[in-house]
């Protein structure tokens, strides 16, 4: 009965098959020649966290979170981890997917193989998740090396970052299928930039006006920031289950929408 109910919600084949791994392999082979583009992403978290520790950390001092006083660098670092997961996945899910879909027409060639539309969508999402996971690991290692991890529970920031990456990758790829030109990416940045600035990454959410707090709590990035910060501090509450549920639903909805849009655009 549970399987039947699931199939009614998510169409059969919406998540592709094992053949999707070939799309993942294709992207890995491409980056084998352009490895420096991939490796360059590992330096971003180091410079971010180093600048916070050297500069703002001494200017601002401590921040109180859940009745716990932490340094400003330790406060911001988990939020930056979630933001890095968002940015890393959105880069591949939007710009690269748009190029292969609208400019290079890579997917038209792939459709001549046994791979299905769903395999293409799942394979591309898998690559976005793989790249986001690599960056998340490097970010967490930098947090530990610079002393920004506050408890052993900080290791849970890694699956949280991966879930955040999946949610934004699936939603970003679905949105990418509606874009018509490179100029439309201004709309993507219009959505991401305010979310980045007002996601409680740099300031405690209780510093915002009441109406803005409600808006921030409804954004997907805030879910990842709140989860990563709670795990880093080792402070858990029932609200975190809601944050996880939000990101899981967003991921599944994005995957289904992406497969449907790819099917519409790539099949005659």
Does the pLDDT at position 12 exceed 70?
no
| pLDDT tens column, 75-123 | 888 888 888 888 878 878 888 888 888 888 888 888 888 888 888 888 8
In a domain, 81, yes or no: yes
In a domain, 2, yes or no: no
**What would the two tokens of residue 57 be?**
């950390």
| pLDDT tens column, 202-253 | 888 888 888 888 999 999 999 999 999 999 988 888 889 999 999 999 999 9
Going by pLDDT thresholds of 50, 70 and 90, the confidence category of residue 60 is: confident
Looking at residue 152, the DSSP 8-state letter turns out to be G
Rounded to an integer, what distance in angstroms lies between the CA atom of residue 12 and that of residue 35? 36
In a domain, 206, yes or no: yes
Nearest CA to 172 among 94, 251, 263, 248? 94
Ordered DSSP codes for 201-261: SSS-GGGS-HHHHHHHHTSHHHHHHHHHHHHHHT---THHHHHHHHHHHHHHHHHHHHHHH
pTM for the predicted model, two decimal places: 0.84
In a domain, 173, yes or no: yes
In a domain, 7, yes or no: no
Number of domains composing the chain: 1
In a domain, 10, yes or no: no
In a domain, 246, yes or no: yes
Does the pLDDT at position 38 exceed 70?
no
Nearest CA to 127 among 239, 30, 265? 30
**What would the two tokens of residue 144 be?**
């530990």
- Find the domain containing 216 and state its range: 16-266
């Amino acid at each position: 009965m549970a399987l039947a109910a699931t199939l009614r919600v998510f169409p059969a084949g919406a998540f592709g098959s094992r053949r999707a791994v070939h799309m993942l392999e294709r992207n890995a082979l491409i980056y084998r020649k352009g490895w420096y583009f991939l490796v360059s992403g590992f330096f971003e978290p180091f410079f971010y966290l180093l600048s916070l520790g050297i500069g703002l950390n001494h200017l601002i001092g401590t921040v109180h979170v859940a009745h716990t006083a932490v340094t400003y660098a330790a406060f911001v670092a988990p939020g930056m981890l979630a933001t890095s997961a968002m940015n890393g996945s959105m880069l591949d899910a939007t710009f690269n997917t748009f190029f292969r879909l609208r400019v290079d027409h890579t997917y038209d060639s792939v459709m001549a193989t046994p791979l299905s539309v769903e395999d293409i969508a799942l394979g591309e999402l898998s690559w976005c998740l793989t790249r986001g996971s690599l960056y998340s690991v490097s970010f967490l290692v930098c947090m530990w090396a610079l002393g920004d991890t506050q408890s052993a529970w900080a290791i849970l920031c890694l699956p949280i970052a991966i879930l955040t990456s999946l949610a934004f990758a699936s939603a970003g790829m679905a949105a990418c299928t509606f874009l018509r030109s490179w100029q439309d990416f201004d709309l993507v940045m219009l959505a991401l930039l305010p979310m980045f600035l007002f996601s409680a990454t740099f300031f405690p959410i209780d510093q915002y006006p009441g109406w803005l707090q409600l808006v921030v709590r409804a954004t997907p990035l805030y879910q990842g920031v709140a989860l990563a910060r709670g795990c880093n501090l080792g402070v858990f509450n029932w609200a975190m289950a809601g944050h996880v549920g939000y990101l899981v639903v967003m991921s599944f909805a994005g995957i289904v929408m992406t497969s449907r849009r790819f099917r519409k655009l790539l099949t005659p």
